[in-house]
Structure formats: C-alpha cells, structure tokens
Chains A and B, each alone.
Chain A
Amino acid sequence: MVQFKNMCLLMLTLALVSLVFTGNACAKDMIFNGSIQEGDGYQINTIVIDVAEVFVSAESCVFKVYDEGELEHDKLINIDDTITFTAEGETIDVTLLSVSGGTLPQATVSITITDDDNIYLKQIVDGGHEKATFPGTPSLEITKEVSSYTVDQGEVVTIKVTARNKGDGKATEVRFSDPKPTGFILQEILLEETGQLTIDKYETRTIFLYKLQANEAGTFEFQPTRASYSNEADLDFPEAVSNIPVITVTDTGKNAKKVAELEFSTSIESSSVKRNDEVEVVINIKNQGDSSANGVVLNIHLPEEVEYKGSNSNIEIINGMPKAYLETFGLDQEKEIRFVIKPTELGTYTITTDYSYQYEDGVSPDRQEVTGEFTTSTIDVARGDLDSVIEQPWYVIAIPLLIIVAIGGWLFHRSRQYRF
C-alpha cells in the first residue's frame, strides 16, 4: 500500500519535472513577425534570410539563408511550413505564414530563435544579402615597450604602450588599465589616453608614455596593460592583454638606503633649583640624516616629584604624560620644544624622554622605525625659600600667628578702652 502511494508520488513528480523541461525546450524568442517583399531579406547578426521568390498562386516561397554572404540554405516551403537551421549555436525557425501578390509579391513570415541574447543586429535588409553589411570584428593588440631592460638603480626608463587594431572592425568603448610596477617611482607622464576611446581598424595608437625611476635593485615583471573594447554593434570582445616586460635593476650602491637620523639634545635652564621653583627644559631636535622623518613621538617621563607646568606649544598631556608629536621632520630641520617643570620635593632628578619616528629609506618597501630614549642632565632640588617655614611643626607657625592676633586684639581692645 505504502509502496503504491510512493510510486504514484514519484510518477507525479517526474511528470511535473518533464513538463517544466518540455516547456523550456519549446520556449523560443520571437525575432520577427511581418511581411518581407520579394528580393529583400532579414538580417540576424551576420546571417541574412533572403525572401528569394514568392509564388502567390502556389502559396509557397523560396528562402535562401546566407552567412556572411555564403549561401547556407536554399529551400522552397509552403504556407505553415518551417525552415529550421542553426546559426551562432542557436536554432532559428523561419515559418511562412502567408503570401500575397501585387506589384511586388511579399511573404509574411515569423522568425524565432531559441535564445536571442547574442543577437546584436536584426533588421530587414532591402535588396537582400547582397546589400547587407556586417560590423567588423575588432582585435586589439597591446604592446608595452621599455626603453631599456637592464638599468641601474636610480636610472629612469621610459615606458611606451601602443595599441593596434588588427581586426576588421572598429574597436569602440576601449578602456585601458595600466598598473604601475612596484620598485619604480613614477617620474613623469608624457602621454596618457584616458576615458573611452575608439580605434579604427588597422589603426595603431600610442596610449601611454611615461617615465619610471628604478628604485630598488632586482628583477621586476611588469604587469600587463589591459584593454576592454566592443565592436560597433556594441558586442563586447575579450580583453586585450599586453606583453609583460621584465626589467632587471642592478644595485650600483650609489643609491644606497637613506636614513632619517634625529639627534636629540636637552638643556635645563638651571641645574640647581629651589623646591617649588619653575625650571624650563629645552629639547632640541635636529635631523642629521638624508631622509625626512615621519610621526615623531616624544614621551616625556617626569619623575613623580616633578610637576609639569606648561609648554610653548607642541606638548599635549595624554593620560597624564606630556607628549609631543611632529607629523614630519624634514632634512636638516631643527626644532626646539620647551616646557616648564616644577620639582616639588628635594632630591636630584633627571628627565627621560623616549622617542619613536619612521622614515622611508628609499629602497625597502616598508617604513623604517626608530625608537630610543634620551635623558637630561641632573637637576638638583634644594630647599625652597619657604621650606623652612613649611617644614616646621604646625605650632611654630600657629603660635606667632596667635601672638599677632592676640597683639592685634589687645591693641584694639586698648584703643577701645581709651577712646572717649
């Protein structure tokens, strides 16, 4: 019982699936349904279906099918008969619906194709296949030339990219992409055709012309220049890809790595101060290297007993720590960072500053990072002017105060007593 039920279900499913597939298989896109005069034709891409002869009385018609001018099929069919042929991988059905006489007899036909996605051209052609024109097939060839394939580091090479249309149709909507190679620095662009271009058949055009400086030693494979394009009928063609030039850059040593070398020095306004006096500290920075430094960060570590009081500008307090940040620090640049501190306890102190910065050495692909620290000379903090007072026990201050108050009170009392 269960088996029978399962069988029925399976058969139903199969029936449904086959229905869907049959429906799909039978689906055709209508290309044309209308009258074509005798001697004219209907063009689908490169195919022209000529209505060669119409026999009104016989209710029949001769169709001749040409592909790019070559006769492929030649058939006489009656009304309601169909010629079926394959073109561009699709099946085309041409059905004669009716014929009519007059000065020029004509046939009413319907043309369907299994899939019209690839049809870029469909039209009635007066005069038939003889008068039909076909959009050409462009074919781009990109050549990437380099002025020299072996260069010394630091030398400049010129890159020239040309495109030749060696096909028989105009290339339209041509777009080039030309990735720049690593290890080279773009020095100058002499020519650059950008945007959408059209290249006529057999035309050769220079698309790019630029100069690159070899920056690193090594063997470099250039990435190819690519172009996408279409023909006049908007049919997209496969991307054209250029050759891949390979350049060898030799390390001559004369373009050695560059460095940014920051030199830090400090000075203190006075190396021996009194407690709670303010002292100015100056950090002097000088770039002694041959590359500029970036992202210079200074973290000033103040001892707990030293208070930060302020600065001329560059210093910010982040999480309680005075920090200075300099975006770039050029060659031979010099800078002074001044800040004021106040030691609050006796003792001998130094102030250590850690620093970090980056630079490009001109050779390595990555930025170089430098870190380090430097320390000021010592600051001796001696007793402040008021220290001896502050250090006294409270009563030493309170008693004279009390005495002064008492004397004041007494004088007031007395003068009141004697004022009449």
Chain B
Amino acid sequence: MLNILIVGNGQCGNRILDAINKEAFGGKSKFAKFYSQQKYKSKVETIAINTAINDLKELSSTKAKDRIHIPHLHGVGANRTLGKSVFEDNKSHIMRNIEERGNFDVGFVITSASGGTGSSFTPPLIKEIKEKHDFPVYAVVVLPFREEGTLYLQNAAFCLKEIRDSGVDGIILADNQFLKQIGGNVQSAYNTINDMIARRMLFLLDALDSEMMMVTDLGDFKTVMSGGAGLATIGFYEAEKGMNIKTTIQKALSPNGLLFSTDVYKEGSRAMVIIKGDKSYLSIDEISSEVEKLSSSVGHVFKGIIVRKGEAPQVLVVLTLEAAEELENLYSVAVDAIHQEREKKTRVEEQKEIDKAFSQIDGLEPDY
C-alpha cells in the first residue's frame, strides 16, 4: 500500500483537491461523507493550503484538520512576489504539517498557474519537499482561460518555469481554456473541470497501487513521467453503451478525453494506458492494436488492464510530451502580455514624469 500526499494550493488547487476527496467518497453528493468511506486504495493524505480563509471554508469533503490557512488578508491578489514572501514566512509551519503525516511514496501538488497564492506557493513548496525527501513529487497545474487577462498569463508563464526549476518530477497540465468546451457558466465549468481532473487522479492513484499482474505501478508511472520535456497530461474516457474498447481508447486520446490540447501522435513521448472494465468488453486484440498504434508514434507505452466485473470499460492515458505547441502559444501570448505590462508600467512611469513636470511649479505663483 502506497502512502500518497496530495497538496492543493490556492483556490483552484483547494477545489480540485476537494473534488478528489469527494470523488473518493464515490458519490456525487456532498453528503456522501456522512454515509460513505473514502475508497482510496492507498493511504492518502490531502492538504489544502490557502491564504484566503473563505476559499477554505467553501470546501466540503476535505477534513478541517487538512485545511491550512496562511493568514494574509484575503489571498495575495495574484501577486506572486507577495505570495512567495508569505510562503517563506510560513514555510516551516507548512512543512511541519506535512512532516507530521509521515513518509510518502509519491506526492502531488495541485495549483492554478495563474493565481497568486497557488502559483507562488507551489514552486518553493516542491523545492522544499524535494530538498528534504526523496519521494517523487508531481505538479498538477491548471492553465488559465486566455481571456483572463495579461496578469494571469504572465503569472502562468513564470509559475510554470519556476515549477520546472523546483526539482519537480513532472508536470501534469490541465488547461481551463481547452476544457472550456464543456460549457456552462464559469462556476459550473469549474466544477465540471475539477470533477474531470479528480476522476482522472483517482483512477491514476488506483492504478499506481495495484499489485495485480498486467497492471502498471508507481515505477511505470515514474518512468513515463520522466520522459519528454517533463510535461504531461492525462486522457480519460468511459465507454458509452455499446462502445467498443478500441473507440474508447481513441476517445481517451482525443480532445474529448484529454486535459490539455495536444496531438498525441505528434507530441507524445511516453505513455501509460490503463484499461479497466468487465472482461467481456476487453478485447485483447483491439487493445493491442490501439496500444501498438500509439507506441509506433510515441516511444514506450505501458499497458495495464484491470478487470472489474460488470463495469463499463474506462481508459486512462498518462502521456508525457516531447513538445507542446499549445504551451508555446501560451508563452508567446504571455511574453506579449509581459511586454504589455511593461509598457503600461512605463506609461505610468511617464505619467510620473509629467507629475514631476507639474510639480515644478508647486508653490510658485505666476509672475506678471
């Protein structure tokens, strides 16, 4: 049995963590915690960290003792510089809380890249954990909607870079912009996205802690995650009625199933395909042909099959990327954003120059 640590930083991280906890209760209802037990196969410790107490209060399925409030007004207001200094001040407190929970085999840190708290806490937190422990730590990073503004884009760009530099063992990307397709208002879109991520995470955790034959494990996951550019995403699909396993696998690898926009066959580096469901659906031929098709264009593909009586087939794909065109796009937009911000600042500076000019006549009277 694995010991797994999941930390959710900032509002986005907190809410996805809560969605995972809720999913673990197996129910859609937030009352599931009263009548159900979490179905983690492993020993899972979850911690939600935030500067905004209201964000923490909103959570429903995460235990109170698992919510750490770092008192700093109401969040850091997307200011990463401020966020980093707040983390520094509270680092020992946060680390102590993690340490108290014992040793871990693997850790995940979930955050949005673009906010303040989450995006600024995550890099130094991972760095801190990696310095003190030797278990792999993976970041689950949520990218912003592109229309959320230059500040968020800029934050996302810097945050991602800092996470990569923190010593993280891999970054799993989820893109709000890409997942927006699901529709609905922002709030329900958030909830839907969070549930999607949660479901994939739970499936992944399930697969990591399996001792059965023909099943992938944490070692396989590590290998997959170490490939490519250190960036990964997850695809998932649950077969609709009558859908064969081949189509299900394809769907999991298509925009329907992925968390981040990528052409799997072009950008993929390593992959792990986990197929779960009733034996009757699991045609070995179909699975083999699909996996082979993937491995012919991607490097190595780990394959795991979990037989679950009576369950419709589900497919989870963890995919590391060699290249990420979408990320390049994001960065170019971000760079533009940074330039824009700088220009704005210069304008403000110039404004200040004008102020200076005006201020020269302060206290003077016109002389006629």
Contacts and interface: CB of A to CB of B under 8 A. Distances in A.
A399 B33 CA distance: 24
Interface string A379-420: 000000000000000000000000000000011001111111
Contacts of A415: 34
B214 interface: no
Contact of B34 (A414, A419, A420): A414
Contacts of A418: 33, 60-64
B56 interface: yes
Contacts of B64: 416-420
Nearest to B56: A420
Interface in B1-38: 33-34
A420 B33 contact: no
B57 interface: yes
B61 A420 contact: no
A417 B59 CA distance: 12
Interface in B249-273: none
B64 to A, nearest CB: 4
Contacts of B62: 418
Contacts of A416: 64
B276 interface: no
Interface in A176-226: none
A154 to B, nearest CB: 95
A418 B59 CA distance: 9
A410 B61 CA distance: 16
B67 interface: yes
Nearest to B62: A418
B217 to A, nearest CB: 32
Output the residue of A411, A417, A418 with the most chain B CB within 10 A: A418
Nearest to A414: B34
A410 B63 contact: no
A411 B34 CA distance: 6
B17 to A, nearest CB: 13
Contacts, number: 21
Interface string B28-70: 0000011000000000000000000000110111111101000
Nearest to B30: A418
A279 B64 CA distance: 59
A420 B63 CA distance: 8
B24 to A, nearest CB: 13
Nearest to A416: B64
Which secondary structure dominates chain A's binding surface?
helix
Contacts of A419: 64
A410 B34 contact: yes
A417 B67 CA distance: 11
Interface in A288-347: none
A418 B65 CA distance: 8
Contacts of B65: 417
B301 to A, nearest CB: 40
A410 B60 CA distance: 17
Contacts of A417: 63-65
A91 B155 CA distance: 165
Contacts of A411: 34
A418 B57 CA distance: 10
A415 B35 CA distance: 12
Nearest to A419: B64
B52 to A, nearest CB: 12
A411 B33 CA distance: 9
Contacts of B59: 420
B142 to A, nearest CB: 22
Contact of B57 (A410, A414, A420): A420
B362 to A, nearest CB: 53
A414 B31 CA distance: 10
Nearest to B57: A420
Contacts of B34: 410-411, 414-415
A407 to B, nearest CB: 9
A193 B56 CA distance: 116
B294 to A, nearest CB: 42
A98 B145 CA distance: 172
A419 B58 CA distance: 10
Contacts of B56: 420
A173 B213 CA distance: 144
A368 B33 CA distance: 86
A414 B63 CA distance: 9
A406 to B, nearest CB: 13
Output the residue of B57, B63, B67 with the most chain A CB within 10 A: B63
Nearest to B64: A420
Contacts of B60: 418
B310 to A, nearest CB: 30
Contacts of A410: 34
A11 B62 CA distance: 140
Output the residue of A410, A416, A420 with the most chain B CB within 10 A: A420
Nearest to A413: B34
Nearest to B65: A417
A419 B34 CA distance: 13
A417 B65 CA distance: 8
Contacts of B61: 418
A409 to B, nearest CB: 12
A411 B64 CA distance: 15
Interface string B306-323: 000000000000000000
Nearest to A420: B64
A216 B294 CA distance: 135
Nearest to B63: A417
A41 B227 CA distance: 180
Nearest to A417: B63
A366 B23 CA distance: 100
Contacts of B33: 414, 418
B69 to A, nearest CB: 8
A419 B56 CA distance: 10
A332 to B, nearest CB: 75
Nearest to B60: A418
Output the residue of B34, B57, B61, B65 with the most chain A CB within 10 A: B34
Contacts of B63: 417-418
A413 B64 CA distance: 12
A420 B61 CA distance: 11
Nearest to B69: A420
A415 B64 CA distance: 10
Contacts of A420: 56-57, 59, 64, 67
B251 to A, nearest CB: 36
A294 B63 CA distance: 85
A24 to B, nearest CB: 125
Interface of A: 410-411, 414-420
Closest 3 pairs (CB-CB, A-B): A420-B64, A420-B67, A414-B34
21 contacts: A410-B34, A411-B34, A414-B33, A414-B34, A415-B34, A416-B64, A417-B63, A417-B64, A417-B65, A418-B33, A418-B60, A418-B61, A418-B62, A418-B63, A418-B64, A419-B64, A420-B56, A420-B57, A420-B59, A420-B64, A420-B67
Given A411-B34, A417-B65, A418-B64, 6 more contacts: A414-B33, A417-B63, A418-B62, A419-B64, A420-B57, A420-B67
